[in-house]
Structure 1
Amino acid sequence: MINVEEVVGETFDYVICGGGTAGLTLAARLTENPSTSVLVLEAGLPHINDPKILVPCQFGVTFGDPKYDWFFPTLPQKYSKDKEYFWSRGKGLGGSSIMNFYAWIRPPAGDIDAFEKLGNPGWNWEDYAKYANRSETFHEPSESQKSLYPHTFEPSYHGFSGPIQTTIPHHVHTVDELFQATMLNKGAKAVKDPFGGDTTGSWIASANLDPRTWTRSYATTAYYLPNKDRPNFKVLTEALVAKVLFADAPADAELTATGVEFIHEGKTLVVHASKEVILSTGAIKSPQILELSGIGTKEVLDKIGVAQKVELPVGENVQEHTFLGTSFELNPNIHHETYDLMRGPAFAAEQLKLHTELKGMHRLGITSFAYIPLSLANPSESPSLIASVESRVEEAKKSGNLPPGLAEQWDIQLETLKDDTLPDLEIVAFPGFFTTVSTPEPGKSYVSILFVLNHPFSRGSIHAKSSDPLDQPAIDPNYFENDFDLEMLVQHVKFIKSMLDTEPFKSGVIRELDPGPECTTDEEIREYIYATHVSSWHTIGSCSMLPRAKGGVVDPKLKVYGTTNLRVVDLSIVPLHIAAHTQATAYVIGEKGVVSFSGLNSLSLIDTSAADIIKGEA
């Protein structure tokens, strides 16, 4: 890392705004070419060697702490009881990879192929898988793990030489056995390895943990620290990007970015870029920076007093996963070592000591997942439910009031709903108490069945609300604007409650705590959802990669329309949501983003070093 004096007024080939998951990935790959200079500007602190980040099994310990968390507030949600929500996002080197729950999950192949269907050549599952493999080194589970639980995996679905270390972590195998067997008895198939593009069924997930040290493997440890001594790789922290600067140009000409304005210790400073400026500040900050730079809709820019340079639907098409949970008390006649033990201060202290010996509960992860079609969750009602949302979509199309490209996105979502081989519901077994209404009792063990809305039909927005870069943007996820989204969560709850009638869950739990056995009607379940659902921290779409005529902000090479050398490389470019947790995809975007600079689309370049790709540009 460098001092601000080494940056101000200087010129770098590439200035990357944001040292998060995708940003550090991109910077590391670009600097493989020693003749290419890269500067990364990160608003947060370095957080190097911070045990709150490195030591696993501390879920949520950094949430709400301004040292680590942006803690963005949303606007009151009109369709969710006017509630305001807080969206935690990592503030610091590594971005949200410093604070996620380290679930390492890839989406189903169809969700990625949808990107290409929407007008993005080269963005398909085959190429996604190549970049995903390039990002990871997969470690097989240990023999002791396999003796407790018979893990299955397909080596060809994984990478074995990438920067991110992944493995099937230690876990509460008794809870996994309970959940997995119940899912099979409910009709879900057993998936041998979900990392090959087929995630429909029940399976055990990997985690981005390094089993050699049992610490978090994330953007900083994987992409920055091994490369920090490269003379062409510079990082400045506590540097908040305010806006992109452009050369003067005629009214109808494309803009050329010349650098960025940033704030450091209260001073507004400038750094220059000779080749490219890249925004990699995430789905919340990237649209704000574009708008502060004069790129966006005239309506928004006029409100904040910024002169428009390029008309684009920045900050629209926002899609967010929302989640909540149910909780059950486990049968005390069966021994479970769940996360509930960590609520005891003495036990927790002992586990930290054991971690220094590479033992104990701090090696655990969240492992049991099931992704199932609506037809499996509710075979009797699913046809009418799908017909209902399809009718609403057709009505909206006829109104003529849809944003460009939205009808096409909805059509793909409807195709997924109708296909019994594709997943609609996500269900996760968390081995401990993880709901918010009831209170866990000392000495008891629980399982929380969490669930996530993966393919929302509602669309939200994220916009700058003033010209002050220190003023957080206005976030409106528009939760449940399309009632089908709420209905899908109702179906999750009903399916989970039905597990109580299925072995081994039926005899493995003795009591439902949240929402409770008295919550039975659809309306009561809806009220529980309103009261307890929260963000899954998986926002996408605010700078969508789509054809410009279909509401796009960036093209398939991630270049912002109307500019010659400004790109966005982060999750904001994802045009249609995926049935997966998003961090593995963020790394893929960073890895693949390098290819966009070469001016080439052939992803056979995956076997070529990033340095060679950049050389090919010259």
Structure 2
Amino acid sequence: MAPLTFHPDHVVDKSFDYVICGGGTAGLTLAARLTEDPSITVAVLEAGEHNIGEPLIDVPGQFAKTFGNLKFDWSFPTVPQKHSLNKSYLWQRGKGLGGSSAMNFYAWTKPPAADIDAIEALGNPGWNWAEYSKYTRLSETFHPAQKDQTDIFPHTHDLAFRGESGPIQVTAPYSVYTIDKLFQETLVNKGLKAIKDPYGGDITGTWMASGNLDPKSWTRSYAATAYYMPNRERKNLVVLTEATVARILFADAPGKELTATGVEFIHGGNKFKVHAKKEVILSAGAIKSAQILELSGIGRKEILESIGVECKIDLRGVGQNVQDHTFLGVSFELNSNGNHQTYDLMRDPKYAAEAMRLHAELKGMHRIGITSFAYFPLTSATPEAPALIQRAANSVEALKKSGTLEPGQAEILDKQVEMLRDDAVPDLELIAFPGYFTSITAPEEGKSYVTILIVLNHPFSHGTIHAISNDPFAPPAIDPAYFENDNDLENLVQHIKYIRTMSETEPWKSAIVREMDPGPNCQTDEEIRSEIHLRLSWNMLAHRRNDLNAATGKAGCRFPELKVYGTTNLRVVDVGIIPIHLATHTHATAYVIGEKAADLITGRVRE
């Protein structure tokens, strides 16, 4: 049996058809699909450890247990945010095989069709909902909810929207059905539509999410276990972990497009090279891919000169157009009459130990997932919507007149305004977490809680990611420019105000004892704004921003083939290619990018 990963001798000074920088979600997907052809050779370089078989990854129901652990998490800091109390935030990102698919909360969600069609409308042919739907079904095998689940809650599915034979196992996680019932019924009573199955392009309403869990073992199904492990015996696939990419190597060709010939990487403190006969592919995630490009001499000339790197291509879009999917929560104490078996039980060490024992028997709390979601337009949240939408439109017009926008950014912002005006496109997102998940006050022993998480889906604030050193181990400067555009802060304010109106509607009204955080001392809009600044402490997982502005064909990598401008054979294959943020959590989308890129590279055409 082949080892989990390989020795440097299998890579150093060897030549492969394709060298993939990054063994994360999209990178392992791409590697698995390319090596289906035994004549194609692939080497994958992953900076993290292999981490396969780690219980903190495999066993669900351990939300955030890997966060801050440098074995699993890059824990990238942002620069101080001048529009958010000058605070620095941590960006949790997966480190090791599988990338962020190994550490997210395994909620399997997909965007509205309009968000994906917007990518094509920005000048990227072939990147539309029909293509997305095809490739996402290719990535998954769906297992409907089991009878013991449907007996207590009406899980509904449309199998036409689901995959039947893909590597990622997807099912309905076990849920705290009393919380789902409260959340779903309340939002329907408030006027939202109940969605039978949110995986066909319509997510505007309230619905139950699946999770990427294997119901045969109730373990996480993710890139390393689903795309790599079944294929690691292939003679044409080599995966080297603890290999940090230092830079892309190019052939000397003055005045011509650059041709990548290989990669310089660091392993065990020593520098080595691996050669590419056909292509080098960056799949290091939106943060590291931008940094590697700059360390390789591709990016803004002034940035490269400041870190002592020779500029080979003055490509203005590298590291620009960063959009982040920020979140925070509003927590409530539940009425004790509700018999809620929430995640709060896991704070008891004895209960937690018993839950882990039960998991070995495929029982207990460790089968839990985050299941209740709602997405809806601003017009469904507040009568102030028309004025707020016009306010956002006015801010975009002012930016366009300022002369400060990057290439292609005006088109992206115009598209965001267009989507904001479209009631079929959701602007707000709520998630019901069945437990206490805020930090101002402390939960009390023996009580049950629910936290409504709020998420900013289409941020108008666009930031940057740039290298600040030619040392590949030095983290780049991440500046998401939180709340630089005040419409983003206002969006979160409206989330919180909407959640508070739920207390006027049954069954939520009778089920809630009190709001814990932000609590009764936070009432006015200005007080809510202050709380958001204080409590916006970290962003959601799994690649929620893009750093290559690919929308207009000039800024970063050119669609649809994903090649970096000015090069013949260097591609970017990760969520950093997405030019406009999506109303979803981007885990499932990363597989789509890997799957579609494999067909673009090989020329395969799927019906």
TM range (shorter): over 0.9
2:95 to 91, 112, 132: 91
Q: Is 1:544 aligned to residue 549 of structure 2?
A: yes
Q: How far does residue 246 in structure 1 lie from its aligned partner after superposition?
A: 0.2
- 1:436 corresponds in structure 2 to 439
The one-character-per-residue Cα deviations of 1:273-296 (angstroms, maximum 9, x if unpaired) are 100100000011000000000000
Q: How far does residue 553 in structure 1 lie from its aligned partner after superposition?
A: 3.0
Q: Is 1:407 aligned to residue 391 of structure 2?
A: no
Greater shift in the superposed pair: 396-405 or 461-470: 396-405
Distance 1:332 1:548 in 2: 57
2:158 to 144, 154, 158: 154
Q: Which residues of structure 2 form unaligned runs of 5+?
A: none
Q: Is 1:271 aligned to residue 274 of structure 2?
A: yes
- Does the CA-based 8 Å contact 1:546-1:556 persist in structure 2? no
The one-character-per-residue Cα deviations of 1:292-329 (angstroms, maximum 9, x if unpaired) are 00000111111111111111120001101000000000
SS at match of 1:82: coil
Q: Is 1:369 aligned to residue 398 of structure 2?
A: no
Q: Is 1:341 aligned to residue 345 of structure 2?
A: yes
1:567 to 571, 583, 595: 571
SS at match of 1:415: helix
**What fraction of aligned residue pairs are identical, expressed as a percent?**
62
Q: Is 1:485 aligned to residue 455 of structure 2?
A: no
Q: How far does residue 95 in structure 1 lie from its aligned partner after superposition?
A: 0.6
Q: Is 1:260 aligned to residue 296 of structure 2?
A: no
Letter in 2 for 1:402: L
Q: Is 1:295 aligned to residue 298 of structure 2?
A: yes
Letter in 2 for 1:541: N
Aligned positions of 1:427-576 closer than 5 A? 427-533=430-536, 534-537=538-541, 538-549=543-554, 551-576=555-580
SS at match of 1:490: helix
- 2:226 corresponds in structure 1 to 222
Q: How far does residue 153 in structure 1 lie from its aligned partner after superposition?
A: 1.1
The one-character-per-residue Cα deviations of 1:83-111 (angstroms, maximum 9, x if unpaired) are 00011111101111110000100000000
- 1:610 corresponds in structure 2 to none
- Does the CA-based 8 Å contact 1:554-1:567 persist in structure 2? no
- 2:130 corresponds in structure 1 to 126
The one-character-per-residue Cα deviations of 1:45-91 (angstroms, maximum 9, x if unpaired) are 11121111000000000100111111001000010000000111111
Counterparts in 2 of 1:547 and 1:391: CA distance versus 1, 3 Å: closer
Letter in 2 for 1:176: D
Letter in 2 for 1:450: L
Distance 1:221 1:197 in 2: 27
- Does the CA-based 8 Å contact 1:555-1:561 persist in structure 2? no
- 1:175 corresponds in structure 2 to 179
- 2:113 corresponds in structure 1 to 109
Distance 2:590 2:598 in 1: 13
Distance 1:517 1:210 in 2: 42
- Does the CA-based 8 Å contact 2:407-2:552 persist in structure 1? no
- 2:15 corresponds in structure 1 to 11
Distance 1:83 1:398 in 2: 30
SS at match of 1:392: helix
1:185 to 179, 182, 189: 189
- Does the CA-based 8 Å contact 2:136-2:589 persist in structure 1? yes
The one-character-per-residue Cα deviations of 1:409-446 (angstroms, maximum 9, x if unpaired) are 11111111111121000000000000011100010000
Aligned positions of 1:299-378 closer than 5 A? 299-312=302-315, 313-378=317-382
2:287 to 252, 276, 284: 284
Letter in 1 for 2:574: D
The one-character-per-residue Cα deviations of 1:205-229 (angstroms, maximum 9, x if unpaired) are 0000000100000001100000000
Q: Which residues of structure 1 form unaligned runs of 5+?
A: 608-618
Distance 2:310 2:577 in 1: 24
Matched residue count: 600
Distance 2:344 2:470 in 1: 46
Q: How far does residue 606 in structure 1 lie from its aligned partner after superposition?
A: 2.5
- Does the CA-based 8 Å contact 1:570-1:590 persist in structure 2? yes
Distance 2:459 2:551 in 1: 18
- Does the CA-based 8 Å contact 1:554-1:568 persist in structure 2? no
Distance 2:517 2:427 in 1: 23
Distance 1:116 1:552 in 2: 16
SS at match of 1:535: coil
SS at match of 1:162: coil
Distance 2:444 2:336 in 1: 13
SS at match of 1:342: helix
- 1:613 corresponds in structure 2 to none
1:590 to 581, 588, 594: 594
Distance 2:606 2:169 in 1: 19
- Does the CA-based 8 Å contact 1:280-1:570 persist in structure 2? yes
Aligned positions of 1:33-112 closer than 5 A? 33-112=37-116
Distance 1:324 1:554 in 2: 35
The one-character-per-residue Cα deviations of 1:318-355 (angstroms, maximum 9, x if unpaired) are 10100000000000011010000000000000001100
The one-character-per-residue Cα deviations of 1:227-271 (angstroms, maximum 9, x if unpaired) are 000000110000000100000001x21000000000001001111
- Does the CA-based 8 Å contact 1:460-1:477 persist in structure 2? yes
Q: How far does residue 165 in structure 1 lie from its aligned partner after superposition?
A: 0.1
Q: How far does residue 458 in structure 1 lie from its aligned partner after superposition?
A: 0.4
Distance 1:235 1:398 in 2: 49
The one-character-per-residue Cα deviations of 1:468-519 (angstroms, maximum 9, x if unpaired) are 1111100000000000000000000000011111111110110100000221
Distance 1:12 1:103 in 2: 35
- 1:166 corresponds in structure 2 to 170
Letter in 2 for 1:192: K
- Does the CA-based 8 Å contact 1:327-1:446 persist in structure 2? yes
- 1:612 corresponds in structure 2 to none
SS at match of 2:104: coil
Distance 2:348 2:434 in 1: 16
- Does the CA-based 8 Å contact 2:59-2:219 persist in structure 1? yes
1:386 to 382, 385, 389: 389
SS at match of 1:411: helix
| TM-score, length-scaled by structure 2 | 0.98
Distance 2:579 2:248 in 1: 23
Distance 1:237 1:542 in 2: 25
- 2:142 corresponds in structure 1 to 138
Q: How far does residue 599 in structure 1 lie from its aligned partner after superposition?
A: 5.1
Distance 1:350 1:539 in 2: 35
Distance 2:72 2:556 in 1: 32
- Does the CA-based 8 Å contact 1:540-1:573 persist in structure 2? no
Distance 1:174 1:606 in 2: 43
The one-character-per-residue Cα deviations of 1:172-230 (angstroms, maximum 9, x if unpaired) are 00000000001111111001111000000000000000001000000011000000000
Q: Is 1:426 aligned to residue 429 of structure 2?
A: yes
Letter in 1 for 2:590: A
Runs of 4+ in 1 over 6 A off after TM superposition: none
